[in-house]
Amino acid sequence: MKVSVVIPSYNEERYLGRCLESLDNQIDKPNEIIVIDNNSTDKTFQIAQSFGVRIIKEKKQGMIFSRNRGFDAAKYEIIARCDADTILPKDWIKRIKTSFLDKKISGLSGDFITYDFFLNSVYYSKIYKLFIKQILGHYPLDGPSMALTKTVWNKVKNIVCLNDELVHEDIDLSICINKVGGIIVYNPLFVSFYSVRRLKNKPASFLVEYPIKLVKTLRIHSLLKKSPVF
């Protein structure tokens, strides 16, 4: 089993190096690492280049365009995706490979823990997972750390939303995978560490924007009335 890692990046010179170091330190090495440079104006490209990873330029601005370009370019049967500010434990790739030994699985979700905020308990991740599962009826994939099969990506890539303003791209992807019959599993041992820089930099915007965009995502997929929460 071979794994491609995709990292969408826009002006990530402060964080990308630590993310790539954590991938270098994996017990099981990824078969390829793809950094998508989404019009960065800082040293993101040079940092990625110094690690010898595959770099792809995406001129259309936005997380969704960057993610899609990376997923399309991935060579191998399992696509792992993380944010540029994510730090991955040494067994991250190993747990992905172990999980996908079950051929029924289409996507893998786990827990995330902050590394730069005083509220860094894994229980916040677990509460979030249960909340979103209650809304969707299935577990979500998470932008900071996820894995899915190339097969299911090929099934959903033409139905995922292309507008970052309308959806949470990871929840939209999760819903689309469910729509084509894919199965997303949650493994509490599949852990990653992420930054809350967005919350710290613009707390009001983050706390208001997130629930509003969640409602927009549900509305686009006609799930709002079906949700037991909203």
pLDDT at 196: 81
Question: What's the pLDDT score for residue 123?
Answer: 84
Express each pLDDT in 151-174 by its tens digit.
999 999 999 999 999 999 999 999
At residue 16, what are phi and psi to the nearest 5 degrees?
-60, -40
Q: Kindly state whether residue 225 falls inside one of the protein's structural domains.
A: no
pLDDT recorded at residue 209 = 82
Q: Is the pLDDT of residue 83 over 90?
A: yes
Q: Is residue 40 part of a domain?
A: yes
pLDDT digits (tens, 9 = 90+) for 26-51: 999 999 999 999 999 999 999 999 99
User: What's the distance, CA 91 to chain centroid?
Assistant: 17
Q: What is the pLDDT of residues 188-229, one digit of tens each?
A: 999 999 988 776 566 666 677 888 899 999 999 988 766 666
* Residue range of the domain that includes 197: 3-220
pLDDT at 200: 59
Where in 39-106 does DSSP place strands (E)? 54-57, 78-82
* Alpha carbon distance 230, 225 (integer Å): 7
Cβ pair 2, 78 in contact under 8 A: yes
129 domain residue, yes or no:
yes
- The reported pLDDT for the residue numbered 73 is 98
Q: Does residue 41 fall inside a structural domain?
A: yes
* CATH number (domain holding residue 53): 3.90.550.10
Q: Which of 175, 122, 136, 131 is nearest to 152 (CA)?
A: 175
- Quick one: tokens of 55? 């770099």
User: What's the CA gap between 152 and 159, in Å, rounded?
Assistant: 12
Domain count, the chain: 1
Has residue 115 been placed in a domain?
Answer: yes
> Is 191 domain-assigned?
yes
pLDDT at 210: 84
The string of pLDDT tens digits covering residues 90-130 is: 999 999 999 999 999 999 999 999 888 776 778 888 999 99
Residue 176 located in a structural domain: yes
Whole-number pLDDT of residue 203 = 65
pLDDT band at residue 134 under the 50/70/90 scheme? very high
Angle subtended at Cα 133 by Cα 118 and Cα 172, rounded to the nearest 5 degrees: 90
Tell me whether residue 205 is in a domain.
yes
Q: What is the pLDDT of residue 206?
A: 64
What is the reported pLDDT for 202? 66
Q: pLDDT by residue (tens digit) across 59-76?
A: 999 999 999 999 999 999
Q: What's the confidence (pLDDT) of residue 12?
A: 97
Residue 138 has pLDDT above 90, yes or no: yes
Instruction: Identify the pLDDT of residue 230.
Output: 61
Average pLDDT, the chain: 93
